Amino acid sequence: ELTAPERDGDHDGLPDLVEYSLGLSTDFPTSPGVFVPSLREIGGTTYYTYRISRAPAPGDSAVVVEFSSDFVDWVAGVVMVDSDFVLDVRDPAPASAHEKRFVRVRAER
């Protein structure tokens, strides 16, 4: 049970609720290699993608990956793979539509 979901008990920059929702430990720092941004060609179009390696997670929370060009307006990514061990999401807009792009991962209960 998470008593303070926004807390970062292991000081790795990820709130405990995000780690919990990914099936990761809230007690030990998460490796940066868990999160992999990339550019990928899909159907002849290049997209920003974000892959998260994870462990089987509890069913009482969900992870949402969102993209933005300005840190104000965020749009949910398009889920390409959602398995027990991988969450692979792409930006809904082609990479050519934006000069810069930011990604955030948040969890919901």
Structural domain includes residue 102: yes
Residue 62 belongs to domain spanning: 30-108
Count of residues for the chain? 109
Place of tokens 């974000």: 50
Predicted TM-score (pTM) of the model is 0.87
**Distance between CA 106 and CA 41 in Å, rounded?**
25
Question: What CATH number does the domain containing 35 carry?
Answer: 2.60.40
- Domain for residue 74, yes or no? yes
How much is the average pLDDT of 13-35? 90
Helix (H) or strand (E) holding 16: helix 16-21
Structure tokens at 15: 């709130």
Residue 15 maps to a domain: no
Residue 60: inside a domain, yes or no? yes
pLDDT digits (tens, 9 = 90+) for 44-93: 999 999 999 999 888 899 999 999 999 999 999 999 999 999 999 999 99
Query: Does 1 have pLDDT greater than 80?
Result: no
Q: Is 49 part of any domain?
A: yes
Q: Domains in the chain: how many in total? A: 1
Residue 71 lies in a domain: yes
Q: Does a structural domain hold residue 89?
A: yes
Does any domain span residue 44?
Answer: yes
